[in-house]
Structure 1
Amino acid sequence: MRNETRGTVELTLAMVLSGTLGVFVVESGASPFEVVFFRCLFGAVALGAYGLARGFFTGHGFTRGKLGLAALGGVFIVFNWVFLFEAYRAASISLATVVYHTQPFFLVLLGALFLRERISAGKLGWLVLAFAGLVLVSGVRPGDTATLAGLGCALAAAVLYALATFVTKRITGVRPHLVAFVQVLVGIPLLLPFVDFGAAAGLGGGWWWLVGLGFLHTGVMYVLMYAAYNKLPTAKIAVLAFVYPAVAMGVDWAVYGHHIGLVQALGVPLIVLAGLKVTRAARTPGAGPVPRTAGRAAEAASPAATRAG
C-alpha cells in the first residue's frame, strides 16, 4: 500500500505539472513551432542525461523495427504539440485542454478502423455522449473564427496524439523513457526548418519558460509519470489523469482570467465521464500495476494528455 501511495503522489505531481504547461507556452512568447523545437531540444538533454545516469542505454531493447515505430510516433507527437500550442493561443488553455481530452475516442476509432476491433454498444454510447459534450464545450458562434480555429487545432492535436499512441503501443521490451527520448530527438531535425532563430534570440525572459518546458514538463514530468505507472493499477491512473484538466482550467482562470461559460461547463463532465468510462472499459479483469515496459501504453490509455504536458 505504501508503494501505491507513493505512486499516487508521483502521478498527481506529474498531472499538476501538466496543468501548468499552457502558461509556460504562452509566457514564452515564442511561436508554436519554436516552442516545440526547444521543448524537444531541452527535453532530449534532460531525458538523455537521466537515461545515461540510470544505465538505460545498456541493453536498450531497440530493434530496427521498434526504432522506426518510435520515430514515427515521434512525428505524430511533435506535430500534436504544435497544434495544441496553437490552440492555446487561438482559443484558450481551458477550451483547448477539454477538447484535447477527446483523444481516447479517436484511439477507439483507430482500433476499429485498422485492427477491426468491435465497438460495443456501451462504447458507442459514450462516444455519442462525448460528442454532445464537445458541442456544448465549443460554445462559440459561427462568426467567432479565431476560437473555432483554435478548437479545430485542439481536435487535430487529439487525432495526432491518438495516432502516436496507436503506433507506440506496438513497441514492447523498451523502457518508456527511451521511447520518449527518441520521440523528442526526432522533433529536433523535423522542426529545424520552421524555427526563426532571429525571433527566438529576442525572447529575453521567455527563454526561462522554454527551459522549463524541456526540463520540467518533459524531463521531470515524464520520470514521475513512468515511476508512478509501475506502482498503480490502470483504473487509478485513469482517475488521477483528470487532475491535469482541472489544474489547467484553474491556472487559466487565475493567470489570464479565462473561464468557460455555464453552457460550456455542462459539456465538461460529459467529456470527462465518457473518457473515464471508455478508459476503464479497456482494463482487463484483475489487472494489477502497469508493467515497466508498458508505461507508454498506460499513458495512452489514460485520457490525460500528458504528452501535452
Structure 2
Amino acid sequence: MRQELRVLSGRQLGVFTWRQALASYTPAEVRTRVGRGQWLRVLHGVYRESDTELSPELRVEAARLSMGQMSAVAAYGTAAELHGFSVAADPVTHVLGPRQSRASELIVHSDRVESGELELVRGTLTTNALRTAIDLARSLPRLDALAVLGTVLGRGVSRADLAVEASRHRHKMGAARAAELIALADARPESPMASRTRLGCIDAGLPYSRSSKYRPPPAFDASTSAGGSGASASNTTAPSGTPARRDFPCHNELTPRAGPSTTPPLPTSTSRSTSLNSSGRRSPGGPRSRIVVSVRVSTAIRRRGS
C-alpha cells in the first residue's frame, strides 16, 4: 500500500473507502488489488488489507465510513462483542444511526440513546454494559439472552439496575420478556451452556440445581458378577462395604449387593446346533456357527438356481 493511503487507513483503524483509494491508485489498480485478494471488502464501498484483523471496532469504523457519518455508536451484538459478553458470533454489524436501515452486513438502529448510556471501549463509542444487556435481552432468543444477563450480573451489575434500565424501555418490543429473564438470571459464575440448560429445565418444569454435578457410579469387578460380562472394570467398594455393580452402557448405578450374587444365570438353549469347522469335523454350534451354516446354505441355493 502506498504511503498516503497507509497513513489514512491507519487513522481509520485499518479501513478505507473506494474513493479514498482512488486518491493514490487508478481504478484499474484498485480493481486489480481487490481481484487478487490483497484488499478485502468489509462493507459497501469500504475495504481493508488482507492481513488486517476484522475486529469489532474495525467493523464499526467501516460502518461509519459506509454511512458517511462523522461518528457511529456500536449497539446490540456488536457492542456485546466489544464488552466481551457471551454472545454467538454474528457477522452483521449493529450500530445506532439517524435513519434505520437493514442490509445483509449492516443494521442501523434508530433507537434513542442518552449520553449517560454511552462509553468508550477500546477507542470505540458504544452503548454501555447496562444498555447493551437490556437491548440483547429484548431482541435475542431467550436462551442466549439469559446467558448475556448472567455475564453482566457476574461483572458486578446489580439486578436492581437491570430492572430499572428495563423499565425505561418498557414500551419497546420484548421488554416484558427482558423483565422475566432478569428475575431468572444467575449472578454466580456460570458458563453460557449452563445458563441455557437451566432455562430449558425451568421452561419444562423440571427441577434444576446448579450445585448438581455428575458423580460417576462405582465400578465393579467383572469376575464377581454372574456369568462374567467380560467388561474391564476395577473392583471398588460401595459405602456399605460391599461390592457395587454398574451398568456400563447406560451409566446407571445399581443397588449395592451383600453376599454372593443372586442374579439368575442367563437362559441357555437346550438344543445345540452344529457346523463344520475347517478340518471337516463337527463342532458345538453357537451364533457364529449358525451364521456359517446360513451362509453356506445361501451359497448352495444360488449355485443351484444359476
- Indicate the structure with greater helix content: 1
By the TM > 0.5 criterion, same fold?
Answer: no
TM-score (norm 1): 0.20
**Which one has the bigger strand percentage?**
2
